[in-house]
Amino acid sequence: MNERSIRILATGLGILLLFHGVDKILTGVEGIEKLFLELHLSREFAHYITYGVYIGEVVAPILLIFGQYIKIASILVVVDMLFAIGLVYRETLFQLGDYGEWIIETPLLFLIAALSLAVSNIGFNDGFKFKKK
């Protein structure tokens, strides 16, 4: 991918994910903690790991929007989306929605976009500075 493509993808992904993060800030993450508790994790561990959603949906998107530490931020988004798919969609993983779309379509698109950034030719913490081939 060229520099312009990566800028567009990183900024777009960051903006779209930040909406989810703002929602978590405004409404809280108790629902996510309940999902962890359903997996029979200890209350302390579930409480601790639940706050990772703020890293994946607030911190990482801000880094992506400003083009800082894109590889690290995109890896954080990949992990966040894997948790989201595994927790929220584990019972409906292979189902279709009312209009024929795959239920996990949106988080999967976020995952694929973040994975594309993670394997791009951008340096590990170079922002929008690219490695020479």
60-108 pLDDT, tens digit each: 999 999 999 999 999 999 999 998 998 888 888 889 989 989 999 999 9
| pLDDT greater than 70 at residue 3 | yes
Is the distance from CB of 106 to CB of 16 less than 8 angstroms? no
- Joined together, the tokens standing for residue 47 give 């409480």
How does residue 130 score in pLDDT terms, banded at 50, 70 and 90?
Answer: low
| pTM attached to this predicted model | 0.85
Residue 122 confidence (pLDDT) above 80: no
36 vs 19, more confident = 19
pLDDT, residue 14, reads 96
- Domain regions of the chain by residue span: 3-118
Say what the pLDDT of residue 125 is: 54
Cα(101)–Cα(96) distance, rounded to whole angstroms?
5
